[in-house]
Each structure stands twice: as C-alpha cells, then as structure tokens.
Amino acid sequence: MSGEDRQTCLPLLYLPRLRAESGRSEMPHTMIDLFAGAGGLSEGLREAGFEALYANEIMPRYAETYHLNHPDTIVESSDIRDVEAGKVRSMLNLAKGELDLLAGGPPCQGFSINAPVRSVGDRRNHLFREFLRFAEEFEPQAVMIENVPGLVSFQNGETLSAILKSLEQLGYKSDVQILYAPHFGVPQTRWRTIILGFRDYNEPLAAFPEPLALAPVRVNFTSRFAGRDIVKLPSSSELPSFTSVREAIGDLPHLRNGEAGTEVKEYPVPPVSDFQRIVRTGSFGVINHEAARLSPINMRRLSYIQPGRNWTDIPHDLLPEGMKRARTSDHTKRYGRVDPDGLASTILTKCDPHWGAYFHYDQDRAFTVREAARLQTFPDSFRFTGSRVEQYEQVGNAVPPFLAVAVGRSISRALQSANQSASRTVA
C-alpha cells in the first residue's frame, strides 16, 4: 500500500512546521543536552520548540556532527565528570531556575543512592550522578531522562527507584513510562524508557505523550514497576496506522551493492508520503547515501531471501557455521530482508545482516546510512560526519527525533500549564 493511500499520524506530530508556515512566532524554551550523542534528542526537541544552549558529548566525532547540525549551540566534547556545572551556568548567564529543561541519556545502570559502591569496576555506572549534579546547579523547570527498557528490571527496579528518589530530593515530581517509537511515526521497532520530572507541575504522569498511531506490539521485557504497567499504549483503536519502511525510504535513489555515486544525489521521484515530505523539508539532495559492499557469500545468501523473510530462506550449506544448528523459530531477524509494508528492525550501531533485518526489500544490498537515518526519523538535511562506520554508530545510538518531538511537545504543554497556574496564583 502506498503512502498516498494511508492516513498517518505525522501531520499531527509535526505541528512545528505548520506553526512556522503560519508565521506565528513563539519564544523557544531553553534546554541543555547532556550525553548528547550526534544530536537526535536535540533535533526532535528543537522541532518541539526548544533551543539547545549547551550540549556535552564525550565522543569527538559525535560532537562534530552535533555542532554541524546545531551551529548555534555551544557544544563541548569532554568527559562530563571534568565539567564544572557552575562554570557552564555562568557562561550561559542563567540564574538558578531559569533553564526550562535539562535532558539527556546518562548511563544509569549501577546507580543507587543506597549502595554507591556497586559496580565500581565500570565508571560509566555512576555517570547518572553527573546529570544530578547539573540538575542541582541549574534547578531547571523540567528534567527528561531517556534510557533502555532494561533499566526497569535492572537490580530488580532498585536503580530506577533510586533515580526517582534522587529527583524527589532535588524538588522534582517525577514519573516513568516506556514508549514505543512506532506509536509516534518512527518506522522501526524501538522502545525507550522515559523519565520526566517537574518543579512546578504536579502531574508528571499526565506530561507523557499519548500514542498517535497504531502498530504491532510485542513486549519482551519487564513492563511493571511499583505495582503498575508502565508501557504507554494507544487508548483508541481509531488511530491511523504506523509508518511503514516503504513510506520512509521508498523515494531514495536506487543503489547497487558497493555503489557510492555522487556525494549529493537527486531525489528520483517526488515525495509520496507524509513522512517523505516532512524529512525532505530544507534538503537540497540526498547525502550519506552510499552502499556498503557486501561480501560475495552474503550476496549469495541475499539472493534467496524474500521481502519479510530471513535466514531460513538460505540453503543450509550457505549458512554461517554458527547458524546451521539453529532452530527455524530462533533468530528470526538475522539475515532478514525487511518487509516494505512493515516496521524495520531496531536500528543498531551497524547495519550488519548477521544481527537483524538490514537487507533492503527490493535492492540487493544493506541499508545505507541515510536509510538508517530515515528509519531513525532524522531529516535529510542532517549531515553525519566521519567514516561510514562512525556514521552508522551515530545513527544507531541516537534517540529518534520524531519520538523526541512528541515528548518535547508534551513537556512544553506541561511547562505552559505550570506557568499559567503560577500566573493565576500571583494574580
């Protein structure tokens, strides 16, 4: 089914573009992005009306990509443990409580206010304390933390409980939900744990976005916390359907295995879906779209795989040795050719067919960086720097911007509600 034939949630999700086209001017909310990666979270929050004043990312190549696409943001590539939050606040000339949002994806595993020596062998396990240090220094109106669903079950929920308790001690009313990216227009099976906290908004649970689309769901992780299910599911069966792979990447230039072509490629067809129209906004051509070269043995394997199918289509003698003993019910995404009318596998840090369905549905090759970026919902104007390996890593580690747009819009509404309540109290 083509994109033109289906109603999607994207016009509802992408209100910032409509706002800009209407000529309305609104003061943006201010934000800081820690553990910023290449900028997926900031990209989405920017479309939701937030201005990133400062970002910190330890990986120089990631920080380079972030700055290239967010040139007005102060981007610091350094170890967050060596950064003085007070100096950053002074540099930004912000009073305590003046920042609207502190956002980021700090590693939280091993964090516990009751057992600070846990997992001392891995210093990354205590990086969440650095996020708290910035929250204490800036006293932002809201905080947003994103992480993997496994955070909920880690240490039997003790780590998540410690995070919420720590935010409470800093004056934040906070809550947690697990969001499914396809419910917000992202064409891949990706889950994220989101924690939201507010200083002056008393209903943090109400600040999470409502799903805007229907999508096939399979929960294969712990979804209960503090006696309740925290997976956010659609409340109506009348919502539009999810964005398919074909709707996301079907308009991109055709490539042969190993073909690079020109650095900037022309779009071969007009956009035929809401998704394509949105991600093309501001783009003058297709970049980061070069096909990695698959080995001859993988090309032979690929020739047997039908769209929506996987390694079980490959003749036994061509299978990798480790998979010759696998049951046909196992590893159902490996060596997969993606279903064009379905959702893609979770985009990882490399589109290696051994780990997922990363073969194109009707071209005999693996996904390009641009196709992976489309499936992560980056706009086509977003340029990734570094080697192709580094680009895949940046894409795979990012928060999908469309998911960030949805969360950002909900945070914005909560902040506006808190401000209106404060104004009424003063009056």
CATH of the domain at 105: 3.40.50.150
The C-alpha atoms of residue 99 and residue 237 are separated, in whole angstroms, by: 38
User: Is 9 among the catalytic positions?
Assistant: no
In a domain, 383, yes or no: no
Q: Can you give the residue range of the structural domain that contains 137?
A: 3-241+401-426
The predicted structure's pLDDT at residue 295: 95
Q: Number of folded domains in the chain?
A: 1
Would you call 413 helix, strand, or coil by DSSP?
helix
Would you call 214 helix, strand, or coil by DSSP?
strand
DSSP-derived letter for residue 240 is P
Neighbour-count burial of 417, counting CB atoms closer than 10 A to its CB (0-12 exposed, 13-18 middle, 19+ buried): middle
In a domain, 422, yes or no: yes
CA distances from 17 to 23, 216, 277, 313 (A): 10, 28, 11, 44
Q: Are 130 and 81 in contact (CB under 8 A)?
A: yes
Catalytic pick among 9, 41, 108, 302: 108
In a domain, 276, yes or no: no
The predicted structure's pLDDT at residue 266: 98
The predicted structure's pLDDT at residue 12: 55
Give CA angle at 423 (420, 425), nearest 5°.
110
Over its length of 427 residues, how does the chain's per-residue pLDDT go in tens digits? 444 456 666 655 554 443 444 344 467 899 999 999 999 999 999 999 999 999 999 999 999 999 999 999 999 999 999 999 999 999 999 999 999 999 999 986 655 443 444 444 555 557 889 999 999 999 999 999 999 988 898 888 888 999 999 999 999 999 999 999 999 999 999 999 999 999 999 999 999 999 999 999 989 888 999 999 999 999 999 999 999 999 999 999 999 999 999 999 999 999 999 999 999 999 999 999 999 999 999 999 999 999 999 999 999 999 988 889 888 887 888 999 999 999 999 999 989 988 889 999 999 999 999 999 999 999 999 999 999 999 999 999 999 999 999 999 999 999 999 887 776 665 5
In a domain, 115, yes or no: yes
